Amino acid sequence: MSLTPEIVLNAYASGIFPMSEGRNDPEVFWVDPRERGVMPLGGFHISRSLAKQMRKREYLPAINQDFRSVVQACAARDETWINAEIFDLYTELHLLGFAHSFEIYQDQQLIGGTYGVSLGAAFFGESMFSARTGGSKLALAHLVDHLSRAGFTLFDTQFLTPHLASLGGIEISRAAYRSQLSEALGIEGKFLQTPLELDAHLVLQRVTQTS
């Protein structure tokens, strides 16, 4: 049975998500980690180098300006779990208003970004990339600020990588995750209704104050 956007959304609401073994593997399987990675919206860590980069204001954040390019960039690595079916599924979810990309541009070039799925007040982060130093960190800093202002309560990162841990990511148990997920699904987040903050100084100030 081929996957549909409805099946994928129901899976997220149940606490599981799809992956593939590689870009050339046609199979898709479901993942339900015993320990779940999350990014506390009040606990994002901004290093001195990232803060310096934000203060320079030499970039612009954007939402959904080029979703397909963000997913393609996330998949453009030696090892990826994004195969053709997953790419097409998330493109459909984007067109339906559930999947979003958060992008960073510099000199009119896409230098970093992340994408994920929004349900209720939960954002399920899927992947991220950097084409220039700090690109993914800038995207995450602005995304955390946006989610906080949009009334979200859960930022799911699926797994905890060293990169995410350095930014404040933590692991919680499956039971704790499902409790937070249940609460988040009962709240209406306003991802697209919330204006994007373009002033990096304000983002830096808000994120630092809540960290």
CA angle 200, 205, 206 (to 5 degrees): 100
Q: Please check whether residue 159 is in contact with residue 165, taking contact to mean a CB–CB distance below 8 angstroms.
A: no
For residue 24, the model assigns a pLDDT of 81
Rounded-to-integer distance, Cα 26 and Cα 66, Å: 25
Cβ neighbours around 149 below 10 Å, total? 16
Q: DSSP state, 108?
A: T
pLDDT tier, 145 (very low <50, low <70, confident <90, very high otherwise): very high
Backbone phi, psi, residue 125, to 5°: -70, 135
* pLDDT for residue 30: 94
Distances (CA, A) of 143 to 1, 25, 29, 94: 34, 31, 28, 17
CATH assignment at residue 53: 3.40.630.70
Which H or E element spans position 129? Answer: strand 122-130
* pLDDT over 70 (residue 210): no
Q: Print the domain residue range for 55.
A: 5-210
Number of domains present in the structure of the chain: 1
* pTM, 2 dp: 0.94
